[in-house]
Amino acid sequence: MKQHIGIVSVGVLLLAGLVAPLATGAGTPGFYTEVLLGGLMAGVLYSLVALGIVLIFKASGVFNFAQGAMVLFAALSVARMAEAMPLWAAALLGMGIMVLVAIVIERLVLRPLVNQDGVVLLMATLGVSYFMDGFGQTVWGSDIYSIELGIAKEPVMILEGVFQGGILINKDDVAAALVAALLVALLALFFQKTSTGRALRAVADDHQAAQSIGIPLNRIWVIVWSVAGVVALVAGMVWGAKLGVQFSISQVALKALPVVILGGFTSVPGAIIGGLIIGVGEKMAEVFLAPVLVKTFDLAGGGIENWFAYVLALLFLLVRPQGLFGEKLIDRV
Amino acid sequence: MFYRENGQYKTTYGADQQMLPILQDRIFMAVLLLFAFIGVPLLASDYLLLSILVPFLILALAATGLNLLVGYCGQISVGHAAFMAVGAYSAYNIVLRVPQLNFLVVLVLAGLIAAAVGMLFGIPSLRIKGLYLAVATLAAQFFMDWTFARVKWFTNYASSGSVSTATIDLFGWRVDTPARKYLFLLAVVTVFTLMAKNLVRGHLGRAWMAMRDMDVAAEVIGIRPVYAKLTAFAVSSFYVGVAGALWGFVHLGSWEPLAFDINLSFTLLFMIIIGGMGSILGSFFGALFIVALPILLNQVPAMLGLPLATATKSHLEVMIFGSLIIFFLIAEPNGLARLWAIGKEKLRLWPFPH
Amino acid sequence: MRQATQRKLLAAAAGAVIAAAAATASAPAFAQAKEQFFPLLPYRTGPYAPNGVPFANGYADYLKLVNARDGGINGVKITFEECETGYATDRGVECYERLKGKGPTGATVFQPLSTGITFALTDKAPGDRIPLVTAGYGRADSVDGTVFKWNFPLGGTYWDAADILVQYVGKKEGGLDKLKGKKIALVYHDSPYGKEPIPLLQLRAKMHGFELMLLPVTHPGVEQKATWLQVRQHRPDYVFLWGWGVMNSTALKEAVATGYPREKMYGVWWSGAEPDVTPAGDGAKGYNALTFLAPPGQGQVHKDILKYVYDKGQGSGKKEDVGEVLYNRGLVSGMMAVEGVKRAQFKYGKKPLKGEEVRWGLENLALDAAAIKKLGFTGFMDPIQTTCVDHQGSHSARIETWDGKKWNVAPEVYESDLQIIKPLIRESAAKYAAEKKIPVRDCAKDAG
């Protein structure tokens, strides 16, 4: 029980933060629900990016810093190609491109660096991310492009009878959540039911054992990076449809780092739940905590959501380094 | 032929432990320093001084600081620009509030404050390393960015959030012309480099390297991890803090929190990867490379008669950075510094390599 | 194998060193006479590229036009070079240092299109004796030429913008006194740019008794969910938008998502161009913004540009983008720099001029309606007259509204209230002069 004190206290703290705005009357229940939903929606996007990172980390032990750049690259490709062809064709072609990217990365970056230290691989993917940012913008341009999924952007008011003022909900947010759920279900099927999926899991469990029973590691890596590329594509399309496809996407993806810390580097459900916690946490903190801080310390504006995720991850690291669902095996000192 | 240590005998332990054991190296270093102190200010144009040499010297100092932590002690940090910001804002506030202090004292104080903050964010390194530590340092980056943008006291309640500094005055010697800025920086950087070089050869540096190479073994032979890691964070942040103060006061003159954002952290990291991890010399190579590359990209294609569009150039620049990082990690993990060492080795055997 | 790689690496390194030496050696090879050098600090990459590109194109196109149509400024050919800043201050400073000494007489005038870079260059320009033109951005207090000898915020500052917006919404409410008890939210880019209007808005808030909500948005501005949730919570009567780049379109999208009426949103002039509204699609309909110089559209000067520049394949951008809001602002900024040189040539002769000579020209700029017509800019700017005391020259702006396809500019012209702004400028400039120990110029004696 003693080793759980840390995690329990952080959990209690988070819960208290979640309940506090309602208890103190800082927001009406209707508005509170809207903030909660807004946080969940932001969280879905973080989760999608984190998902790609977790997949790659599980299979190859590489922390893929370039996942954000891949999201941007995929979204840019789809957005630009959709100008010349229907969206579904562009998306399919985009998948093809992401597979190609995966093959190139495996050949040129991963294979020569096999068996290197995790930090070296991290820095290599940092290089990949710089390259892809530049390459994507050279090929596709650096304007703001849009992906039209054909969902109305005007919000709908629901539950007006229940809460005073009702709750505003966006159809595209709901669609994003559904897409994310579908993607996770598909991935779960892929991992559980197909032989490639089983091979992937075997590799994730033990590289050497997997290799000794004849699973080709290189091919597995290509597959995993391709799957991560497709996840990036979905994330990019959801994100791009909401906010427009532009260079900045790759920067917001940095937030996926604390998400995987929270959820655990090797856990797919962890990535999802971690993303949601961070999304909700930072929106709640920004809307309800920041004004209090600003008033108390006479700050020049709020903006605590910029660091909230990282500091939360840092706290988490101190009490539970393996994350919520991660494996116990951790490089501890 | 000329570069050979034949006939140079060492008769004392002191001589054997010199920083530059070969006579030719000592001569080379002396000539280089002499040239840097006297020749460069006389010959270089203002542009060369202000846009290449000044940022190069400051960034080399910052990269040295980062290298002490990443290259020597093996603790990764992707948030070192935050400690530069701490140094810069500390110096700004000290100058503002105690204007009579000499700038050199201010510099040291700013470094010490940065060291304290660095140690604070280094505490997680006692429990975690690698990727996990990267996130901890990211937290430092974003938290410090926010602090300096939001807490009005740090910017002296400037409505724009931008601070600007007055000219540095050292005992009546005003650091205002390009040549003076360069000389001032050169002196500071030389002193700090010498200190770093000696530090890594000494007790502390060896403790760091032991920690980097194998922490468990290091602990067994009596190196306390708490001590080794926190000192690495402290010394590294001290260097970077001093560099940050110089960056603000000498190079920028006025700045906003964005000047020390995450991109600068990445740039510092790239410098030591390309220059060479675990090498002071490498920090200098890396800094020079990163400062000079955009400028080269700007001028070489035009010279060859291939004018590139502004946007292409800048995309090309990040692409080249990215590929070079991967290239160096694969082909020469020890960076440019290793190439330099190989070159020297070859020179010793030349012209009869067998 | 390893040896071979090493040898190749060494050779490559040596080659790079030689190339570097060659490049630095040949850099200052400019000594031709009869050329006026214009440094350009655009940003064609990064999060602000969608807004930076059209401005840079307009600026460059005007310089090209002057060369192609008039053969330069009174026979002095214009040369120019771009240096990408990416909207980053340190990059901007490096570019400034790189370009300031080029050309036979050095850089003519700098226009960084970034308030952050302007803050940094304000400290450097006096030492290098090069003027800074910041048309519609930069430091509001730099209007005061007695302290800011080298800064020219021609045509508008953020204090003017904020003042005009308050006046406008006051008028809508039926008088400034009706603003009492109202709520106005400022959604601003968290940088010197976005923070500039705050002192004036705070002053106005105190005067008229409205409540000012400050909502900063962090660079680059793609994360605004929390900001707009706060807008939804507090339901301000008006939202003033002080954004740039991708932040503007994101703000509009979030306003749609939180159901805030776009008709109550008023942007500063940097939040009122095509790239700001088009990504939001129909959602941007009804959104308003200020416009000072150069509303969208085409006039005589555009015909010339299409004829002399684009038809010859020399255009900096796409033909169909000529006449966009930011393109036109680039055009006007280029024009004012050229006119500054022209004015200075009256005094110093028709030859390449130094920055300090151009500074005199900018300080004695007098563009009346006739002069504007001659330049082909009728309908794109109000007359401008600068003096030693007033480096701004014009304090007017209009309101434009996006109808889903184009910007419609309302005919009414609004003037900022100098009674309110002037003391603020004087106070702030005096503080700057004291901090920097700058002697204040006496305009009666010091004409040059």
Please give, one letter per residue, the 3-state secondary structure of chain A. Answer: CHHHHHHHHHHHHHHHHHHHHHHHCCCCHHHHHHHHHHHHHHHHHHHHHHHHHHHHHHHHCCCCCCHHHHHHHHHHHHHHHCCCCCHHHHHHHHHHHHHHHHHHHHHHHHCCCCCCCHHHHHHHHHHHHHHHHHHHHHHHCCCCECCCCCCCCCCEEECCCCCCCCEEECHHHHHHHHHHHHHHHHHHHHHHHCHHHHHHHHHHHCHHHHHHCCCCHHHHHHHHHHHHHHHHHHHHHHHHHHHCECCCHHHHHHHHHHHHHHHCCCCHHHHHHHHHHHHHHHHHHHHHHHHHHHHHHCECCCCCHHHHHHHHHHHHHHHCCCCCCCCCCCCCC
- Give the single-character DSSP code of B72: I
For residue A3, give how far its alpha carbon lies from the nearest alpha carbon of chain B (Å).
Answer: 15
Residue of A118, A261, A333 with shortest CB distance to B126: A333
pLDDT for A6-21, tens place per residue?
777 778 888 887 888 8
DSSP letter for each residue of B253-304: SEE-GGGGSHHHHHHHHHHHHHH-TT-HHHHHHHHHHHHHHHHHHHHHHHHT
Partners of C73 in beta bridges:
C76
Does residue B333 sit at the C interface (CB-CB below 8 Å)?
Answer: no
* Range from B1-10, B188-197, B278-287, C410-419 carrying the lowest mean pLDDT: B1-10
Residue of A113, A301, A317 with shortest CB distance to B150: A301
Residue C30: pLDDT band by 50, 70, 90 thresholds?
Answer: very low
Q: Do C45 and A306 touch (CB under 8 A)?
A: no
Domain annotation covers residue C26: no
pLDDT for B124-138, tens place per residue?
888 777 777 888 888
Element (H, E) at B122: helix B103-122
* Domain end (from C244, C260, C291): C291
Element (H, E) at B131: helix B131-150
pLDDT for C298-348, tens place per residue?
889 999 999 999 999 888 888 888 989 999 999 999 999 999 999 999 999
| Bigger pLDDT: C19 vs C376 | C376
Query: Is the confidence at residue C150, as pLDDT, over 90?
Result: yes
How many independent structural domains does chain C possess?
2
Residue of A131, A303, A310 with shortest CB distance to B322: A131
Q: How far is CA B148 from the centre of its chain?
A: 22
Contact B67, B272 (CB under 8 A): yes
Interface list for C 131-190 with B (CB within 8 A):
139, 190
For residue B254, give how far its alpha carbon lies from the nearest alpha carbon of chain C (Å).
Answer: 5
Q: Do C258 and A155 touch (CB under 8 A)?
A: yes
Phi then psi dihedrals of residue C213, to 5 deg: -100, 130
What is residue C28's predicted lDDT score, i.e. its pLDDT? 44
User: For residue C429, which residues of chain B lie inside 8 Å, CB to CB?
Assistant: none
> What tokens appear for C63 in the block?
């310089």
DSSP letter for each residue of C53-102: HHHHHHHHHHHHHHHHHHSSBTTBEEEEEE---TT-HHHHHHHHHHHTT-
Q: What does the mean pLDDT of chain C come to?
A: 87
Domain annotation covers residue B250: yes
Q: Do C225 and A38 touch (CB under 8 A)?
A: yes
User: Which partners does chain A have (≥3 C-beta pairs < 8 Å)?
Assistant: B, C
User: For residue A286, which residues of chain C lie inside 8 Å, CB to CB?
Assistant: 226, 229-230
> Same structural domain for residues C266 and C333?
no
Residue of B225, B319, B326 with shortest CB distance to A124: B326
| Bigger pLDDT: C427 vs C281 | C427
According to the per-residue pLDDT averaged within each range, which of A319-333, B233-247, B331-345, C429-443 is highest? B233-247
> Same structural domain for residues C59 and C112?
yes
**pLDDT above 90 as % of chain A:** 17
For residue C331, give how far its alpha carbon lies from the nearest alpha carbon of chain A (Å).
Answer: 21
| Bigger pLDDT: C212 vs A326 | C212
Q: Is beta strand C396-402 parallel, antiparallel or unpaired with respect to C407-409? A: antiparallel
> Same structural domain for residues C363 and C280?
no
User: For residue B343, which residues of chain C lie inside 8 Å, CB to CB?
Assistant: 10, 13
User: Which partners does chain B have (≥3 C-beta pairs < 8 Å)?
Assistant: A, C
User: For residue C196, which residues of chain B lie inside 8 Å, CB to CB?
Assistant: 159-160
Query: Is the confidence at residue A27, as pLDDT, over 80?
Result: no
Please give the C-alpha separations between residue A133 and each of B315, B352, C144, C218, C330, in angstroms, as whole numbers: 8, 47, 43, 21, 28
Those residues whose C-beta lies under 8 Å from the C-beta of residue A59, and which sit 6 or more positions away, are A200, A203, A204, A220, A221, A224
Q: Do A301 and C190 touch (CB under 8 A)?
A: yes
* Range from A82-91, A156-165, A225-234 carrying the lowest mean pLDDT: A156-165
Residues C84, C62: Cα–Cα separation, whole Å:
19
User: For residue A126, which residues of chain B lie inside 8 Å, CB to CB?
Assistant: 266, 269, 325
> What tokens appear for B226 in the block?
């708490």
Partners of C40 in beta bridges:
C82
> Same structural domain for residues C192 and C276?
yes
Residue of A27, A242, A247 with shortest CB distance to C46: A247
Interface list for C 10-49 with B (CB within 8 A):
10, 13, 19-20, 22-24, 26-28, 42, 44-45, 49
How many independent structural domains does chain B possess?
1
Interface list for C 250-309 with A (CB within 8 A):
250, 253, 256-259, 275, 279, 281, 283
> Same structural domain for residues C107 and C122?
yes
**pLDDT above 70 as % of chain A:** 92
* Domain end (from C258, C291, C324): C291
Contact C194, C168 (CB under 8 A): no
pLDDT for A197-230, tens place per residue?
888 888 877 778 888 888 888 888 889 899 999 9
Residue of C9, C19, C123 with shortest CB distance to B332: C9
What is residue C264's predicted lDDT score, i.e. its pLDDT? 94
Q: Do A128 and B322 touch (CB under 8 A)?
A: yes
**pLDDT above 70 as % of chain C:** 92
Angle at C124 between CA C122 and CA C126, to 5 degrees: 80
CATH topology of domain A2-319: ABC transporter involved in vitamin B12 uptake, BtuC (1.10.3470)
Across C186-198, average pLDDT: 90
Q: Do B161 and C195 touch (CB under 8 A)?
A: yes
Interface list for C 254-283 with B (CB within 8 A):
none
Across C384-391, average pLDDT: 90
Q: Do C253 and A153 touch (CB under 8 A)?
A: yes
* Helix, strand, coil share (%) of chain C residues, nearest 5: 50, 15, 35
The residue of chain A with its CA nearest to that of C186 is A301
Alpha-carbon dihedral sign for residues C113, C60, C220, C239:
positive
User: Which partners does chain C have (≥3 C-beta pairs < 8 Å)?
Assistant: A, B
Alpha-carbon dihedral sign for residues A45, A46, A48, A52:
positive
Angle at A167 between CA A166 and CA A169, to 5 degrees: 145
User: For residue A154, which residues of chain C lie inside 8 Å, CB to CB?
Assistant: 256, 259, 283
What is residue C3's predicted lDDT score, i.e. its pLDDT? 54
Does residue C385 sit at the B interface (CB-CB below 8 Å)?
Answer: no
Q: Do A154 and C256 touch (CB under 8 A)?
A: yes
Contact A225, A99 (CB under 8 A): no
The residue of chain B with its CA nearest to that of A113 is B330
In terms of Cβ atoms closer than 10 Å to its own Cβ (0-12, 13-18, 19+), residue B191 is: exposed
Contact B298, B284 (CB under 8 A): no
Q: Do A153 and C257 touch (CB under 8 A)?
A: yes
pLDDT for B330-351, tens place per residue?
888 888 888 888 888 888 777 7
Q: What does the mean pLDDT of chain A come to?
A: 83
Residue of C190, C223, C258 with shortest CB distance to A252: C223
Please give the ipTM for the structure prediction.
Answer: 0.86
Contact C142, C134 (CB under 8 A): yes
Residues A105, A116: Cα–Cα separation, whole Å:
16
> What tokens appear for B170 in the block?
């050292």
Alpha-carbon dihedral sign for residues B223, B226, B227, B230:
positive
What is residue C446's predicted lDDT score, i.e. its pLDDT? 63
Residues A148, A124: Cα–Cα separation, whole Å:
34
User: For residue C50, which residues of chain A lie inside 8 Å, CB to CB?
Assistant: 142-144, 246
pLDDT for A172-205, tens place per residue?
788 888 888 898 888 888 888 888 888 888 887 7
Domain CATH code at residue C220: 3.40.50.2300
Cβ neighbour number for residue A189 with a 10 Å cutoff: 11
Q: Is beta strand C238-242 parallel, antiparallel or unpaired with respect to C183-189? A: parallel
Cβ neighbour number for residue C313 with a 10 Å cutoff: 6
Interface list for A 55-114 with B (CB within 8 A):
63, 108-109, 112-113
Query: Cis link prior to B351 (omega < 30° from 0)?
Result: yes
- List, in sequence order, every beta strand (DSSP E) within C246-319: 265-267, 288-291
Residue A2: pLDDT band by 50, 70, 90 thresholds?
Answer: low
Residue of C28, C89, C435 with shortest CB distance to B258: C89
* Domain end (from C241, C265, C291): C291
Domain annotation covers residue B55: yes
Q: Do B326 and A108 touch (CB under 8 A)?
A: yes
Cβ neighbour number for residue A171 with a 10 Å cutoff: 14
Residues B185, C357: Cα–Cα separation, whole Å:
34
* Domain boundaries defined on chain A: 2-319
Residue of C26, C84, C198 with shortest CB distance to B314: C84
For residue A88, give how far its alpha carbon lies from the nearest alpha carbon of chain B (Å).
Answer: 29
For residue B258, give how far its alpha carbon lies from the nearest alpha carbon of chain A (Å).
Answer: 13
According to the per-residue pLDDT averaged within each range, which of A157-166, C20-29, C200-209, C427-436 is highest? C200-209
Interface list for A 141-160 with B (CB within 8 A):
142
- Domain holding B223, by residue range, is 20-258
- Domain holding C385, by residue range, is 35-156+296-394+427-436
User: For residue A248, which residues of chain C lie inside 8 Å, CB to CB?
Assistant: 47, 220-222, 246
Find, among C346, C393, C332, the residue nearest to C151 by Cα.
C393
Rg of chain C, C-alpha, whole Å: 23
Q: Do B314 and C86 touch (CB under 8 A)?
A: yes
Does residue B190 sit at the C interface (CB-CB below 8 Å)?
Answer: no
In terms of Cβ atoms closer than 10 Å to its own Cβ (0-12, 13-18, 19+), residue C312 is: exposed
The residue of chain C with its CA nearest to that of A171 is C257
Query: Is the confidence at residue B253, as pLDDT, over 60?
Result: yes
Residue of A168, A248, A306 with shortest CB distance to C246: A248
User: For residue C281, which residues of chain A lie inside 8 Å, CB to CB?
Assistant: 146, 153
Those residues whose C-beta lies under 8 Å from the C-beta of residue C410, and which sit 6 or more positions away, are C398, C399, C400, C401
Q: How far is CA A167 from the centre of its chain?
A: 26
Q: How far is CA C246 from the centre of its chain?
A: 17
Q: Locate tokens 């900024």: which residue? A: C333
Chain B and chain C share a number of CB contacts under 8 A equal to 123
Across B71-77, average pLDDT: 90
